[in-house]
Structure 1
């Protein structure tokens, strides 16, 4: 089949005779393979891992006619006859399978690109899309809550929640989708055109994946291409505004800024602790619409307020009334491991922000509390901590470090905050988080916050950031139990 023919295929076309390879058999890979098989394509799914429920899913797909190869060496060689390769997010372009596809001229799509092509043309469900270095999940979950409050059938999907292919293939069309997109997903996406899109912030991250920061920024910029209604950007982050200026959008699309300050016309922002809209009302030249108050939100932390403003802007661009924004945000609580209070005892508050997996996310958390005993470390992914330490050194009571790249953070502290006490978790601890929590407790004073905001990925010591946060919370509760005996 010709490449041109493959690019023309959609939901109502016959995929019979299309030879598709799916690289990766996780959640998104299974969704892609399952739906392509349903459409009639000849599917081969490959994954180096046979862990978790992959074997059971493989058995199911093989009954339906797909071929699944799991285990070491499965992805070393691209099959000879391939019309399209669907890659799971996170696969680098220089991975052997993808490099072979590029050399042969085989189209490489991500799951998001596949989902866009499989939308039902008779029910063109609009996408409200969110990306950014930090805050994506919270913003998309807020957006989903607001859209539901307005009576719309919606779901959070993409990089969070439901696989996006499953969302677009649902027999009952959604009214609108709240779509979280990572830079990895955007890298393999070319034809998507969101109704409205937001870039929350852009800071150095994933430098172990990208050749340069500019390449990372370029992938984030893809989300604005072809936007129909609103490009939402962060007034405090000039990079996001520049991406809007450079984007090729549909005629009539507007640039909408969000700010923690007083909003100008065409922005949403904060006026006397009120989240205010000066973008989506007819009288915006002289008036603002109240969305909610900071007191209505689950946290007054600046990054949480910013996420709420971005979610509100996207929802308002879709025509959602202010009452739905207010009522949804009043009831919204962040998902686990995101600025979650674990306990408060002996005058010390314990906060789990294990989802802060890079320095900008950790910085946002640290700026919400003072004074802080900071728990940090893990896999730094090539990031630097110098700017972070310089900005928060006056807030730090002490620091507890763990994980592979703890020395990277320790070096930054030595350069910019040499007077701050630092404890290094020794290698080989049998109960590492219990030791971390005990040391943090010994360093904290009444009135302090002990903050797990690692600024690093977790996989050197834990299965994921959730497991890390759970271990922290369990250790805190054990400590509290011993104090209350």
Structure 2
């Protein structure tokens, strides 16, 4: 088998199927473009291999919150009695699903920007872009290209394009999308919803989009307390999931029951323990500044454990927006100096402990220092805003180390 020499394709090549991670500027793909040979990813291949009675797709993308939202959506759909599965970038191959023998009524599909780039034919029943912040720019080349690939999820939508009212970029992508006639733009907001939106009123999740008279009426869906955990960004995830489910015709009671039944994956704003009146929370999955900011917004006051591999990120905006919530900060990892410098510029009054070590045992020292800084009523929050590979195998191992350190501290 010959895979091409970088400048030309193997003779007779009619199609290239790539794994999502390969960058579009690879010589093989450039050669395919010159030759007019299509390049598909795994999602495109799965889409084209669906049978005539295939289940429709409710699709989710965004910089942060994709997996949680897709799992919430699947829980809501199951509560409605529908045969469904959470698939795609969540780890369950779409190819396995569409070629398997099990039949589904509808699929909850998580899609990454990489997958969307290589899926030109995808046409979802309904879709959402949860949020947009700079990420994977080394792959896409620019924020504009990254956003455009995320926006592909809206193209060809049949029923609803669900967007984030607080993130204008997501609404702009809806405006630019070529959708089927009759497809609606539906917003979600943590505030009081306008017509054609879902939102929150006095602790109640409400729907003013999929009701008979959305200008006068609203449908109660669930209580904020039904969302686990009820942090603001997670409530936003729940509203997006509810919007997609309602677009598919799911009743309000199923939204409530599905949210109550949902249990988040590990290391996503997971409460580990309370020790001496201080809560210890593991959000090791907050591997970029956008995710860390959402996590920091959920608590106050906070002793923040942060640091790792910055992946080219800057931290000034994150620190400036979160400074008033910080009791203190404990910094670990290879690029901790970047966070320390941002704290010095924007939160000079916040005490900072800089741990000059990158071994895995540093986490116990970090938790010990955080305990020293914390007061009763505070939250010690692991929200690193960085990748983990300088010290740990992945964010899971980092979160496990934090939880183990907390348990040792409380023993």
2:8 is the counterpart of 1:91? no
Residue 393 (str. 1) matches residue 314 (str. 2): no
1:334 corresponds, among 264, 286, 296, to 264
> Within 2, Cα distance between the matches of 1:430 and 1:285?
56
CA RMSD of aligned residues (A): 2.0
Q: CA deviation digits over 1:98-123, x for unaligned, max 9?
A: 455445554321111111111112x1
Inter-CA distance 411–97: structure 2 relative to 1 (3 Å threshold): farther
Summarize the Cα distance change of 1:241–1:479 in structure 2 as closer, same or farther, 3 Å threshold: same
Aligned match for 2:232, one of 302, 315, 322: 302
**C-alpha displacement of 1:89:** 2.2
Which one of the candidate residues 143, 146, 170 is aligned to 1:216? 146
Aligned to 1:432: 362
Deviation track 1:312-349 (CA, whole Å, cap 9, x = no partner) reads 00000001111111111112121111110011111111
Contact 1:147–1:320 (8 Å) recurs in 2: yes
- SS of match in other structure, 2:138: coil
Q: Which residue of 2 aligns with 1:154?
A: 84
Q: How far, CA to CA, are the matches of 1:142 and 1:75 in structure 2?
A: 45
Cα 1:105/1:424, change in 2 over 3 Å:
farther
Match of 1:321 among 251, 254, 267: 251
Q: For 2:241, which of 311, 321, 325 is the aligned residue? A: 311
Contact 2:54/2:98 (8 A) holds in 1: no
What is the CA-CA distance between 1:228 and the residue it aligns to? 0.4
8 A Cα contact 2:303 2:381, kept in partner: yes
SS in 1 for 2:249: coil
Q: CA deviation at 1:151?
A: 1.0
Alignment equivalent of 1:119, drawn from 28, 50, 55: 50
Of 187, 198, 216, which aligns to 1:286? 216
The aligned counterpart of 2:344 is 414
The reply on whether 1:365 has 2:295 as its aligned counterpart is yes
1:274 matches 2:211: no
1:206 and 2:136 are equivalent in the alignment: yes
Shift of the 428–203 alpha-carbon distance from structure 1 to 2, 3 Å rule, reads closer
CA distance in 2 between counterparts of 1:427 and 1:276 reads 48
User: 2:332, 2:358 within 8 Å by CA — same for their partners in 1?
Assistant: no
TM-score (norm 1): 0.81
Q: Which moved more, 1:326-335 or 1:129-138?
A: 326-335
1:178 pairs with 2:125: no
Asked if 2 retains the 8 angstrom alpha-carbon contact of 1:269 and 1:309, the reply is yes
Which SS does the other structure have where 2:114 is aligned? helix
Unaligned runs of 5+ in 2: none
8 Å contact 1:101–1:107 — kept in the other structure?
Answer: yes
User: Are residues 1:187 and 2:121 paired?
Assistant: no
1:468 pairs, out of 394, 398, 409, with 398
Q: 1:229 aligns to what?
A: 159
Query: In 2, are the aligned partners of 1:343 and 1:350 still within 8 Å (CA)?
Result: yes
* Aligned mate of 1:257, from 174, 183, 187: 187
Q: 2: CA distance between counterparts of 1:233 and 1:270?
A: 15
Which one scores higher on RCO, CA 8 angstroms, separation ≥ 6? 2
Using the alignment, how far apart are the partners of 1:103 and 1:380 within structure 2?
36
Structure 1: 5+ residue runs without aligned partners?
A: 1-18, 22-73
After superposition, the Cα gap between the structure-2 partners of 1:190 and 1:428, relative to the gap in structure 1 and judged at 3 Å, is: closer
Contact 2:9–2:28 (Cα < 8 Å) also in 1: no
Q: In 1, distance between residues paired with 2:159 and 2:239?
A: 17
Aligned to 2:404, the other structure's residue is in SS state: helix
SS of 2:140's equivalent?
Answer: coil
